[in-house]
Structure 1
Amino acid sequence: MNLAQFPRRGYVKEATPIEFLPNFSKALGGKVNVYIKRDDLLPGTSGGNKTRKLDFCIADALAKGADTIITCGAVQSNHCRLTLSWAVKEGLDCYLVLEERVKNSYKPEASGNNFLFRLLGVKGITVVPGGSDMMGEMGKVAEKLKAEGKKPYIVPGGASNALGALGYVGCMEEIMHQMFIQGLTFDHMVVPSGSAGTHAGIIAGMIGNNINIPVTGIGVNRPKAVQQEAVHKLANQALDLIGVEQRVPADKVIAFDDYVGPGYSLPTDAMVEAVKLLARTEGILLDPVYSGKAMSGLIDLVRKGYFREGSNILFLHTGGSPALYAYLDCFGN
């Protein structure tokens, strides 16, 4: 595969660390060895996985002469934070369309990412009800800006299109190189699965590089069948874009929906346990929406014996810890 054929901005200048979690692994009974890929340490305001995707998407925007970026997400969206962050860095205006997936959940004065939107100087925020046609809503903002003489570029939610997914095809190549250099082998990989681009990119990277490591996605928003179909479709679109003829077998795409709880962004006891456990054993912060629920899934699967005893498990940390500060009530003292 030749990712160099696709323009990017060079936001990812070095590999993010892969760390062994000895204390966390011991706290889970020592049955498996848990490692973590620290994409929470990627560049961009407070880090996170979207930087890899935006590396490609914003390069495309600039190549097309855009002076304004429009994107969307939930009210505490990490993707919106990072898109705004990189737009600021590039001297582009940025407008956000926020979806109230939980009714009345948007609070302009809220902490977490809402505070960072204001601090970073977002040019405009449009709040729409849950279930809205988000591409349609962003299109409305784009038409208004065009009428004002602007040149907007729409980045889809999560930067999860075929171009954005290349960021995680590249990440899988990065992991493969780290495994070689560090003498690591992994028996399984666990990834958060939301807007589908990260999960799809990892799987496409596995297929394109003939890496036979099983990947389990932990869904944070949609029913299992819907999520698996979305990931499967996007992974094949990414392979098409790169020019890889091999297809992703449908049975290679797993996205459990057991850990979503009452709904997207709504806290669960298992998420709280996961966030506290990793913080108190390894000093690493998860977020309450994506990585926290994904880690709660990993913990439950370990306890159920899903992974072979003695396995090396790699967890992809997608970042998002600023959202913790909007969830203080969940964590008590």
Structure 2
Amino acid sequence: MEKVTLSAWPTPMEAAPRLAARIGLGPDDLWIKRDDLTGLGGGGNKVRKLEWLVADALRCGADTLVTLGGPQSNHARLTAAAAARADLDVVLVMPGTGHPDRADGNLLLDAVLDARIVWAGDAAPAELVGRAEETCAELRGRGATPYLVPFGGSSALGARGYREAGEEILAQRPDVRHVVTALGSGGTMAGLVAALGPERVLGVDVGALPDPAPVVAAFATQLTGRNVTAGALRCRRDQVGEAYGVLHEPALAALTTVARTEGIVLDPVYTARAAAGLTAAVRDGDIRPGEPTVLLHSGGLPGLFGHAEATRRIGRTLRTYP
């Protein structure tokens, strides 16, 4: 099956010498893979997955994409953008009890992209999947042909996009020793593992799943045809903090450090945790000076503007002159 093209590839690889020095690496050790610069709907890593998933939806004759996520879901926002590009309708299933008084962050972009929202109340993540399936059944009853895009775009099919990303990284930095990525729904890390091997990929758990390692292993096994076990994966679980959407202090510190050394802004849930995990890995010796390292910037900037605690805390640091 051929994918559809939703962005221009490859994305840039940028040196980060000031950040490297700040966290204890050499000036030539650290690079940032700019997958935040994908050219669809505000950018982000989900575009790579959606190229394969939208192609499958079109192959199946779908006229509507249905997916699930939180109100500040980057994946939901990019699914809406991909639907617009492919001339499909889109329905997003989200927890909540109704239309917010003010749409901000990703939710504002969902409105710009003309997504329809199903508010699923206080549904837990597993219940949200069921509500998305019910939504597909309701759409079929109305004569539509829906296609259910999995949570985070993560499946063995969607993960093909990150196998391609891993191959890009190898072409840009053939000597890479570590690739550090946020680990959410599992597809991004699985694709990187398929391209680079489990020994070179460090996933930093953000708390989106109770235990993401078996999910990553299953996707990577399907992609490679080889048995990839959860125990073979490098997963840090020390950056989750209180919960998935709750601001984690090391993530906030990493977000401001990256911005103030390299002028690159991260999101508070995914990429900031990945950067915090990178910092911790250098501190405890899992990543050492002299080992070429790539931090994957998976996007998500709109989510910063929809994160009340992050905007409040960072806003307090605004300085005046003199």
TM-score between the two structures when normalised by the length of structure 1: 0.88
1:263 partner amino acid: A
Q: Residue 162 of structure 1: SS of its match in structure 2?
A: coil
1:324 partner amino acid: L
Q: Residue 255 of structure 1: SS of its match in structure 2?
A: strand
> 1:195-274, aligned counterparts within 5 Å?
195-207=185-197, 214-221=200-207, 226-239=211-224, 245-274=225-254
Q: Given that residues 68 and 151 in structure 1 are in contact (C-alpha distance below 8 angstroms), is that contact kept between their aligned partners in structure 2? A: yes
Structure 1 portions without partners, runs of 5+? 1-5, 240-244
Q: Residue 216 of structure 1: SS of its match in structure 2?
A: strand
Tell me whether 1:16 sits opposite 2:34 in the alignment: no
Q: Which whole-Å CA distance do the structure 2 matches of 1:10 and 1:40 have between them?
A: 16
Shift of 1:222: 5.4
Tell me whether 1:41 sits opposite 2:37 in the alignment: yes
Q: Report percent identity of matched pairs.
A: 36
The number of residue pairs the alignment matches comes to 311
Q: Which residue of 1 aligns with 2:312?
A: 329
Q: Which whole-Å CA distance do the structure 2 matches of 1:171 and 1:73 have between them?
A: 24
Shift of 1:124: 2.9
Q: Given that residues 38 and 316 in structure 1 are in contact (C-alpha distance below 8 angstroms), is that contact kept between their aligned partners in structure 2? A: yes
Shift of 1:75: 2.0
Shift of 1:254: 2.0
Q: Given that residues 99 and 132 in structure 1 are in contact (C-alpha distance below 8 angstroms), is that contact kept between their aligned partners in structure 2? A: no
Tell me whether 1:153 sits opposite 2:147 in the alignment: yes
Q: Which residue of 2 aligns with 1:25?
A: 20
Q: Which whole-Å CA distance do the structure 1 matches of 2:83 and 2:226 have between them?
A: 35
Structure 2 portions without partners, runs of 5+? 318-322
Shift of 1:69: 0.5
Structure 1 residues 37 and 108, CA gap change in structure 2 (3 angstroms): farther
Q: Residue 44 of structure 1: SS of its match in structure 2?
A: coil
Tell me whether 1:113 sits opposite 2:106 in the alignment: yes
Q: Which residue of 2 aligns with 1:192?
A: 182
Tell me whether 1:82 sits opposite 2:48 in the alignment: no
Structure 1 residues 261 and 250, CA gap change in structure 2 (3 angstroms): closer
For each residue in 1:116-144, what CA deviation from the matched residue of structure 2 results, as whole angstroms up to 9, or x when unmatched? 11121112332342244233211111111
Shift of 1:108: 5.5
Tell me whether 1:123 sits opposite 2:106 in the alignment: no
Q: Which whole-Å CA distance do the structure 2 matches of 1:234 and 1:144 have between them?
A: 29
Q: Which whole-Å CA distance do the structure 1 matches of 2:299 and 2:272 have between them?
A: 10
Shift of 1:213: 5.2
Q: Residue 182 of structure 2: SS of its match in structure 1?
A: strand
Q: Which whole-Å CA distance do the structure 2 matches of 1:97 and 1:28 have between them?
A: 39
Q: Given that residues 21 and 282 in structure 1 are in contact (C-alpha distance below 8 angstroms), is that contact kept between their aligned partners in structure 2? A: yes
Structure 1 residues 221 and 145, CA gap change in structure 2 (3 angstroms): same
Shift of 1:24: 0.8
**Larger mean Cα displacement after TM superposition, 261-270 or 323-332:** 323-332
Q: Given that residues 223 and 257 in structure 1 are in contact (C-alpha distance below 8 angstroms), is that contact kept between their aligned partners in structure 2? A: no
Q: Given that residues 180 and 278 in structure 2 are in contact (C-alpha distance below 8 angstroms), is that contact kept between their aligned partners in structure 1? A: yes
1:284 partner amino acid: I
Q: Which whole-Å CA distance do the structure 2 matches of 1:31 and 1:305 have between them?
A: 14
Structure 1 residues 319 and 265, CA gap change in structure 2 (3 angstroms): same
TM-score between the two structures when normalised by the length of structure 2: 0.91
Q: Which whole-Å CA distance do the structure 2 matches of 1:83 and 1:134 have between them?
A: 17
RMSD value, Cα: 2.0
For each residue in 1:296-325, what CA deviation from the matched residue of structure 2 results, as whole angstroms up to 9, or x when unmatched? 111122122221222211111110011111
Q: Which residue of 2 aligns with 1:162?
A: 156
1:197 partner amino acid: G
Q: Residue 19 of structure 1: SS of its match in structure 2?
A: strand
Shift of 1:49: 0.3
